[in-house]
Amino acid sequence: MSSGSFDADLIVIGLGAMGASVTYQAQALGLSVLGIDRYEPPHEFGSSHAETRITRLAVGEGPQYLPFVARSHELWQSIGEAVGEVLFHQSGGYVITNSDGGKDDRWHDFVTATDDVAKLAGIPYTTLTAAEVRAAHPQLKLTDTMRAGHEPTGGVIMCEQAVAAQLTLAKQRGAMIRVNETVTATAADDEGVVVETNRGRYRAQHVVVATGAWIHDLAAPLHGEQLSVTRQAVFWFEAEDLDAFRTDRMPFAIWTGETIDDYVGLFPVPPGGTNAVKILGEQFSTTTNPYDVNREISDAEVADFYETHIAPQIGGITPNCVKRAVCLYTNTLDDHFLIDADPRSSRIMVMSPCSGHGFKHSPALGEAVAQKIATGASNLDLSPFQNR
Ligand SMILES: Cc1cc2nc3c(=O)[nH]c(=O)nc-3n(C[C@H](O)[C@H](O)[C@H](O)COP(=O)(O)OP(=O)(O)OC[C@H]3O[C@@H](n4cnc5c(N)ncnc54)[C@H](O)[C@@H]3O)c2cc1C
Atom of ligand 1 nearest to the CA of 36: 43
Residue to substitute in 24, 91, 357 for testing ligand 1 pocket (most ligand atoms within 8 angstroms of CB): 357
Confidence (pLDDT) at 4: 45
For 256-296, what is each residue's pLDDT tens digit?
Answer: 988 888 899 999 999 999 999 999 999 999 999 999 999 99
CA nearest ligand 1 atom 31, residue? 16
38 lines ligand 1 (CB under 6 A): yes
- Residue 270's DSSP bridge partners are none
pLDDT of residue 213: 97
The rounded distance, in Å, linking the Cα atoms of 221 and 213 is 15
Residue 286 CA: distances (Å) to CA of 211, 283, 289: 21, 7, 10
| DSSP reduced 3-state for 274 | coil
Span from the CA of 357 to the centroid of ligand 1 (angstroms): 10
Any atom of ligand 1 within 6 Å of the Cβ of 369: no
> Contact at 8 Å (CB) between 196 and 1?
no
**Longest Cα pair distance anywhere in the chain, in angstroms?**
71
**Do residues 325 and 49 lie in contact, with contact meaning Cβ atoms separated by under 8 Å?**
yes
pLDDT of residue 296: 98
Distance CA 380, CA 361 (A): 12
Residue whose Cα lies nearest atom 33 of ligand 1: it is 14
pLDDT of residue 194: 97
pLDDT at 3: 40
- pLDDT at position 260, please? 83
What pLDDT score does 219 carry? 80
Q: Which CATH number fits domain 8-49+160-226+334-385: 3.40.470.10, 2.60.40.10, 3.50.50.60, 3.40.50.300?
A: 3.50.50.60
Q: What pLDDT score does 225 carry?
A: 62
Q: What integer pLDDT is reported at residue 264 of this predicted model?
A: 96
Average pLDDT of the chain, as a whole number: 94
Report the C-alpha gap between 303 and 116 in whole angstroms.
37
Is the Cβ–Cβ distance between 155 and 163 less than 8 Å?
no
Q: What pairing do the DSSP bridges indicate for beta strands 155-158 and 52-55? A: antiparallel
Domain ranges of the chain: 8-49+160-226+334-385, 93-152+228-331
Which of 3.40.50.1000, 2.70.70.10, 3.60.21.10, 3.30.9.10 is the CATH number of 93-152+228-331? 3.30.9.10
Kindly give the parts of the chain with pLDDT less than 50: 1-4
Q: What is the DSSP string of 111-126?
A: HHHHHHHHHHHT---E
| 181 contact partners, CB below 8 Å, separation of at least 6 | 36, 37, 38, 197, 198, 199, 200
Predicted local distance difference test score (pLDDT) of residue 259? 82
CB 237 within 8 A of CB 310: yes
